Amino acid sequence: MFYREEIQIETTGHRDMHELTCRVEAIAERSGIKNGLVHVFNEGSTGVIGTIEYEPGLERDLPEMLDRLIPPSLDYGHERQWHDGNGHSHLQASLAGPETTIPLANGRLVLGAWQQVFHLEADIKPRTRRIIVTVLGG
């Protein structure tokens, strides 16, 4: 069995985070599928999907950590080629990844009590993001 739905979010640009757990869970419910896997995917090369304890501290820490490891200020080949100022955005998103998969058991996402699904905007300007949620199961 298979089901797909999209989530649309508006981001304010670099470092903006969204909590998606409830919306992903609602899609899993609408799917009618009770057991299997739920896949969450950011369409585009400068957005990140993952899981985290979604609270104000880590909402600041995660993008700050990525900017510390992959700073906007370095000299990137992408910049020399395109001059669009988002070389670090691409590298952050490729390293952290645009997708995650979560088990579905008896109609519920299997997540820890402090484990939520997040979207992180790595691009430097506000973006409308399409997030594709796919449910596969039996």
11-19, 22-30, 91-99 -> range binding its own copies (CB under 8 A): 91-99
Stretch of 7-15, 19-27, 40-48 lying at the interface with its own copies (CB under 8 A): 40-48
**Residues near its own copies (CB under 8 A), total:** 59
The whole-angstrom separation of Cα 11 and Cα 70 is 21
Q: Name the minimum Å distance from CB 113 to its own copies.
A: 8
The answer for residues whose C-beta is within 8 angstroms of residue 76's C-beta and 6 or more apart is 87, 88, 91
CA gap 119, 58 in Å, rounded: 13
Q: Does 1 bind its own copies (CB under 8 A)?
A: yes
Rounded to a whole number of angstroms, the minimum distance from the CB of residue 10 to its own copies is 17
CA proximity to 46, closest of 108, 121, 103: 121
50 binds its own copies (CB under 8 A): yes
Near its own copies by CB under 8 A, which window of 11-19, 21-29, 37-45? Answer: 37-45
Under rule CB under 8 A, residue 108 binds its own copies? no
User: Taking CB under 8 A as the rule, does residue 59 contact its own copies?
Assistant: yes
Report the C-alpha gap between 93 and 44 in whole angstroms: 9
The answer to whether 132 contacts its own copies (rule: CB under 8 A) is yes
Q: What gap in Å lies between CA 56 and CA 74, rounded to an integer?
A: 28
For the four alpha carbons of 29, 26, 94 and 62, in that order, the dihedral sign comes to: negative
Place of tokens 């997708």: 99
Residues of this chain that bind its own copies (CB under 8 A): 1-2, 4, 35-37, 39, 41, 43-45, 50-53, 55-62, 64-65, 69-70, 76-82, 87, 90-91, 94-103, 105, 110-112, 114-116, 132, 134, 136-138
